Amino acid sequence: MIKTGKVYLVGAGPGDPGLITLKGIQSLNKAEVVVYDNLLDKHLLEQAPAEAEKIYVGKRAGKHAKIQSEINRLLVDKAREGKTVVRLKGGDPFVLGRGGEEAETLAEAGISYEVVPGITSAVAVPAYAGIPVTHRALASSFAVITGHEDPSKESSSIAWEKLATGVDTLVFLMGMHNLPEIVAKLTEHGRPADTPVAVIKDGTSHRQITVVGTLANITARIEESQLSAPAVIVVGEVVNLREKLAWFDNRPLFNKRVLVTRSRHQASALSQLLTERGAQPIELPAIDVQPINDNTELDRAINDMASYQWVMFTSVNGVEAFFQRLNDRKLDSRALGGKKVGAIGSATAKTLEAKGIMPDFMPDTFTGEGIIAGLKSQNIKGQRFLLPRADIADKELISGLARLGAEVKEVAVYRTVPATESIAEARQRLLAGEIDVITFTSSSTVTNLLAAFPEGLPAINNYKVACIGPKTAATAAGAGLKIDIMASEQTIPGLVAAIETYFGKEV
């Protein structure tokens, strides 16, 4: 007999994937089936196991993937298969989300279930627009009202005559289509025509747009702006606080669409910094980092470690690949005992520190010239350097070390190849005008992306180009690209700071 499974009714929050609760993430982590809605950031689905079944049941105006009775039945059927089911719903499942109906169905069927509350858009969306729903000087109460009642009801259950003047702040969900009627009902029952109103579309997302007016003119302003659903409507004096408290859409890179071309496993650091500053990172790597198939040369270097005085790491990838091979051979950081260790870049240094290695050398500037200038005082003449790095790295560093009298052994510990699928998608988005800034963090990201444009550069030269340093910029410029932004500090934070400075000057 198959043991009956369990259903988790999980609130995903209002749109920003960072607003889901920890318990919501934990529920997704163990899901065998995810039944999810329309207004969700699809990145949340990545929190479920890759093998989990994912079923879309989203609803849009006039178009439902499944009607509610079918969704209810689906939850019961999947649980009876013995599955752990996550019903992932936008906002909070019990705030105008029909979660109560789904819970009723599960209870009647004898299915075990748990409710994981979420942050409702009724509070979060106004907050992201700089509008607190309560304020000690302005509003001591607020109400959440559906803007779209069940059409099968014989009459409205909203007591407009009490609601209009009995509550300080009114928040309407799903009310865009009925905005004129909402305005008429409120004014008819005594709400002053000059009461401030805000309509917030796609709240908490990078697409957030806010239109502010009063009950007297908000309908006309919405028609003029052509704002469409989904949107949250806020009515009350607290709306006036937006002018002072707006923060989300006042961030320096708000709504800028930034193409992130670095390898997928490294993209998150850049994407996170961009997101914090309001940008929409679009991760479409131009390179894919892969292990070396034949480790014979690396093993020989490890066996011969006693003959080297220096080990110089030029990237995070080099550190990870080198230490992975040590681990494969049941070795650890003690293999570098007695060696001087160099790190090119702060991220490389931090990765080494995580392995228990404090670098002896890190140049002030991360160019070939900067590295060699920093090593001049190290008296490296006659010393042997091991250089674990990419298979296609240029020879500038080797030549510079040789000029200082050092002997260099270069060993490929990883290889970079074009990420063909994401490059193809990047090409489509660029041609469709869906990008504002292209970021390049290495010469190979430049070369691989530009290879997707055999017809020439005019298709992408309309976009701002941001490079992490002079070497990458030289590759881009040599290919005919116009460089708009270059980091003064050749790090990921430095690149983001340069982008922020550039757009700050445009204001």
Catalytically active residues are: 37, 59, 174
Q: How far apart are CA 368 and CA 396, in angstroms?
A: 6
Q: How far apart are CA 423 and CA 449, in angstroms?
A: 6
The 10 Å Cβ neighbour count of residue 89 is: 26
> Which tokens sit at 249?
């859409």
Sign of the Cα torsion 45, 50, 52, 55 reads positive
Q: Which long-range contacts (CB under 8 A, 24 or more apart) does 472-480 make?
A: 472/440, 472/441, 472/442, 472/443, 472/445, 472/446, 473/440, 475/440, 475/443, 475/446, 475/447, 476/440, 476/446, 479/446, 479/447, 479/450
Contact (Cβ atoms closer than 8 angstroms) between residue 194 and residue 133:
no
Strands (E) across 117-263 are located at 142-146, 169-173, 196-201, 209-214, 231-235, 257-260
Torsion angle (degrees, nearest 10) of CA 465, 469, 471, 472: -30
Q: At a CB cut-off of 8 Å and minimum separation 6, what does 67 contact?
A: none
Give the Cβ contact number of residue 489 at 10 Å.
15
The sign of the CA dihedral 414, 417, 422, 423 is positive
Four-residue CA torsion sign, 93, 98, 102, 103: positive
How far from the centroid of its chain's Cα atoms is residue 40's Cα? 13
Task: Give every CB contact of residue 389 below 8 A, 6+ residues apart in sequence.
Answer: 313, 314, 315, 318, 410, 411, 412, 413
Can you list the positions of beta strands (E) in 182-244?
196-201, 209-214, 231-235
Q: What is d(CA 138, CA 161) in angstroms, rounded to the nearest whole number? A: 21
What is the C-alpha to C-alpha distance for residues 405 and 408, in angstroms, rounded to an integer? 10
| DSSP-derived secondary structure letter, 248 | G
Q: Give the Å distances, CA to CA, from 100 to 15, 88, 95, 175, 289.
A: 21, 14, 9, 21, 47
- Count of CA atoms in the C-beta half-sphere (13 A) of 105: 18
How many Cα neighbours within 13 Å face the side chain of 51?
A: 4
Q: Which of 375, 387, 324 is nearest to 351 (CA)?
A: 324
Other beta carbons within 10 Å of 312: 26
